[in-house]
């Protein structure tokens, strides 16, 4: 009785927890869990042999290798260039800074199909950038290189916007202390600034990778869509759906879902490990 009275007199700091938790679980079940469960169940209608037959196909393996490999390369490129861009936007003042800052969000606002058309126009053999590159023996459009370019384009804002607020709130006192103790600019950057940015950098790179794996609109126009060469997995899913091969499309989707979840989970564990060591 005393316990009940005590709980009544001392309500939770978060009133309505039961109701809000129930709504959260219901909403996530309808929006996320049930569609994912349907995706996982669908390919098994053909049995394990049918599931394995789809995933072991040479064309499917090549598409998955390009999607995941291209997404990983694009995330790595953005993980290198993103912090540099964020550093410039936060630490320096120059004419046109606001315009440059707004351009970072352009891949978010621009429809992916429009981005793909623009990239393919620029980097085709007769494009403004593609023609001089073709003279050097570098063909971007209609090649795997074009896929990496498109994935880098759509993933850059995730890295920059994740690092930018952390860098803004980062105190300069440790940098000044390091300089006072005789550390060089490179030592200050690698031993003081970069460790503080590492969790945000991993988060941004993970988001960029996850976004790039499932990218479709900006890639199909510049990839060339040559089977086993420049064909991405999302396009192969669309092709199988158009052929009414729903089990095959779901099998590819399940593999992409599982591989993406494992990679993102591993990166989150790495991020937590880095945060605990700090």
Whether 5 has a pLDDT exceeding 50, the answer reads no
Average pLDDT score over the chain? 85
* CB burial readout 227-258, b (16+ within 10 A) else e: eeebbbbbbbbebbeeeebebbbbbbbbbbbe
Extended beta strands in the chain, E state: none
Please tell me the distance from the alpha carbon of residue 129 to that of residue 136, in angstroms, as a whole number. Answer: 11
Average pLDDT over residues 204-211: 90
Please tell me the distance from the alpha carbon of residue 104 to that of residue 85, in angstroms, as a whole number. Answer: 9
Q: Do residues 157 and 102 touch, judged by C-beta distance below 8 A?
A: no
Q: How confident is the model at residue 181 (pLDDT cuts 50, 70, 90)?
A: confident
Instruction: Output the pLDDT for position 189.
Output: 79
Counting residues of the chain whose pLDDT is more than 70, the rounded percentage is 92
What's the pLDDT tens digit per position in 73-107? Answer: 999 999 999 999 999 999 888 898 999 998 998 88
- Angle made by CA atoms 152, 67, 63, in degrees to the nearest 5: 145
Whether 8 has a pLDDT exceeding 50, the answer reads no
Instruction: Output the pLDDT for position 89.
Output: 92
Q: How confident is the model at residue 58 (pLDDT cuts 50, 70, 90)?
A: very high
- CA dihedral (62, 64, 67, 68) positive or negative: negative
Q: How confident is the model at residue 198 (pLDDT cuts 50, 70, 90)?
A: confident
Collect all residues with Cβ–Cβ distance below 8 Å to 278 and sequence separation of at least 6.
195, 196
Please tell me the distance from the alpha carbon of residue 54 to that of residue 43, in angstroms, as a whole number. Answer: 10
Q: pTM to 2 decimals? A: 0.84
Q: Do residues 274 and 197 touch, judged by C-beta distance below 8 A?
A: no
Query: What domains can be seen in the chain, in order of their start residue?
Result: 48-277 (1.10.3720.10)
- Angle made by CA atoms 96, 166, 77, in degrees to the nearest 5: 70
Whether 112 has a pLDDT exceeding 70, the answer reads yes
- Angle made by CA atoms 252, 258, 260, in degrees to the nearest 5: 100
Whether 153 has a pLDDT exceeding 90, the answer reads yes
């Amino acid at each position: 009785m005393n316990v009940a009275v005590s709980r009544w007199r001392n309500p939770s700091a978060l009133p309505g927890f039961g109701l809000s938790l129930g709504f959260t679980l219901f909403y996530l079940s309808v929006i996320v869990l049930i569609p994912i469960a349907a995706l996982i169940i669908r390919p098994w209608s053909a049995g394990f042999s049918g599931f394995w037959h789809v995933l072991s196909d040479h064309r499917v393996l090549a598409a998955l290798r390009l999607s995941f490999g291209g997404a990983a390369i694009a995330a790595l490129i953005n993980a290198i260039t993103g912090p540099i861009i964020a550093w410039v936007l936060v630490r320096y003042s120059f004419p046109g800074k606001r315009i440059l800052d707004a351009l970072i969000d352009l891949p978010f606002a621009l429809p992916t199909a429009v981005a793909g058309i623009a990239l393919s126009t620029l980097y085709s053999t007769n494009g403004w950038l593609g023609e001089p590159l073709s003279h050097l023996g570098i063909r971007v459009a209609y090649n795997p290189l074009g896929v990496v370019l498109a994935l880098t384009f759509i993933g850059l804002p995730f890295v920059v916007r994740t690092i930018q607020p952390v860098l803004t709130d980062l105190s300069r006192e440790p940098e000044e202390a390091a300089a006072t103790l005789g550390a060089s600019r490179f030592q200050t950057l690698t031993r003081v600034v970069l460790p503080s940015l590492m969790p945000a950098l991993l988060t941004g790179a993970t988001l960029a990778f996850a976004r790039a794996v499932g990218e479709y609109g900006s890639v199909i126009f510049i990839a060339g869509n040559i089977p086993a060469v420049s064909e991405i997995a999302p396009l192969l899913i669309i092709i199988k759906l158009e052929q009414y091969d729903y089990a095959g499309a779901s099998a590819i989707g399940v593999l992409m879902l599982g591989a993406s979840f494992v990679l993102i989970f591993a990166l989150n564990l790495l991020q937590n490990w880095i945060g605990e060591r700090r």
